[in-house]
Every structure is written in C-alpha cells, then in structure tokens.
Amino acid sequence: MIHNSSIQSSVFNRFISEIRDEEIQKDPLRFRFNMERIAEILGYELSKKMASTSIETKTPLGISPSEVPAESPVLATILRAGLSMHSGLLRMFDRADSAFISAYRKHTTAENFDIHVEYLAAPELDGRTWIISDPMLATGSSMVAVYKALRKHGNPKQIHIVSAIATPDALELIKTNFPTNTEIWVGAIDQELTAQSYIFPGLGDAGDLAYGIKL
C-alpha cells in the first residue's frame, strides 16, 4: 500500500516545497529541519497502522485510558542522507531501536551503477516492525539492497518505508521485491528520472544539501 501525503492540501506540502526550493536549500539547517518535520508527520501517520494496546494512566484526579502502539519498532536508516529523517522518526518513536546501513551508488559509467552496501549495525530484527527511511526513492535499488542486507539478520513482522520523494519506477521495484505486508509513506511522487537516474524535478542530492558536498 502506498500513502502519498501530497494529494491533499496541508502544511505538510509547504515542507515538501521548501526542501525543493533552490533558495531555501542554501540553508542546510533549514533543509535538515524540514526533513525532520516531514519524517515526524509521516511517522505519526504510519503509527496509526501499528498494532495497539490499551493502557491506563494515573492522573492526580483519576485514571485515563489510552490506546498506544503495542511495540517499539526498529528505525533503519540509510546513511548518510537518511540521518535527518531518522532524527524526526526518533522523536515520534522515542523508545525505538535503531539500525544504520551504508548504501551508495558505485558508477561504472555516468549512467550505469551498482548499489553497494558496506556497513550495517542493527539490533534484534526478527519478528519486529521495521521502519526504513531514505529521503529519495529514485530507482528503488538502494532500498532493495538494504532490505536484502537486513533480511540476513531477521524476518520482519511488517515493514514501513518512509521517503520524502519517490518515483513510480522505484515504487514498482519495491512492490516486486518486498513482502506484501509492506506499506510505503511518501511526501510526493515525481514522474520522471533523468538519464543519470536522478528524480526530476526532485530536489538534488539530499545528502549533500543536508551535510555538505562529498568528494
């Protein structure tokens, strides 16, 4: 199931607009902050789909019943671009465990590349809900590579993918390679990829905009 938050007018769309804006992008702090806010909102929305449990909270005057998530998920973040989204998700799921995965494009030509996963640090993964975040789902290849790397360490109960901007190509690849109990939460869906497999109109390189241009 794909949840596209841009189809309805809301303040959320302003945050998406600002991460795209080439003038606002000149402020890395603002860019990171907007990515965090996007992740917070998407995290809040996906929390509604998680299994819940009833609790009672003792107040100074009595007892208040509540329905809350029944488990703490694993927040799996693709380095380095996903770090700002990870911060936003961690504010929503402040009892979650974290997993970090390094995935990058290794180009053979300007237009051809393979995805390399070189680092993975994760808690117990088996039987848990995974929330995997990556700001941009261009081809979807990085997300598939990360999923395969995580699967070597456990079998998820459910998967939620959180991304700011995706393409139809990426969503189709994910649907083909992920289990049926996967839900995708995106801020916007752009219809085109450039010849170098970057999202158009997109926003550029999210990692560079958040943390500086890499060599």
* Secondary structure (3-state) at 192: strand
Tokens linked to 133:
């975040």
Note whether residue 62 is domain-resident. Answer: no
pTM over 0.75: yes
Query: 183 falls in which pLDDT band (50, 70, 90)?
Result: very high
Contact predicate 13/37, CB 8 Å:
no
Instruction: Determine, yes or no, domain membership for 200.
Output: yes
Number of domains in the chain: 1
Confidence (pLDDT) at 105: 67
| pLDDT attached to residue 196 | 82
Residue 63 counted as domain residue: no
Structural domain contains residue 11: yes
Mean pLDDT across the chain: 93
* 171 Cα distance to chain centroid: 13
Mean pLDDT (whole number) for 80-104: 93
Q: Average pLDDT for residues 48-67, to the nearest whole number?
A: 96
- Please give the full DSSP string across 62-98, using - where no structure is assigned: SEEEEEEESS--EEEEEETTTHHHHHHHHHHSTT-EE
Structural domain includes residue 66: no
For residue 117, name the pLDDT band (cuts at 50, 70, 90). confident
pLDDT at 116 over 90: no
| Percent with pLDDT over 90 in the chain | 83
- 82, part of any domain: yes
Flag whether pLDDT at 118 surpasses 60. yes
Instruction: Give the residue numbers spanning the domain of 186.
Output: 2-50+71-211
Give domain status of residue 46, yes or no: yes
Q: Is a pLDDT exceeding 70 seen at residue 98?
A: yes
Report the CATH number at residue 81: 3.40.50.2020
Assess contact for 151 and 180: CB atoms under 8 A.
no
* 115: confidence class by pLDDT, cuts 50, 70, 90: confident
Residue 57 covered by a domain:
no
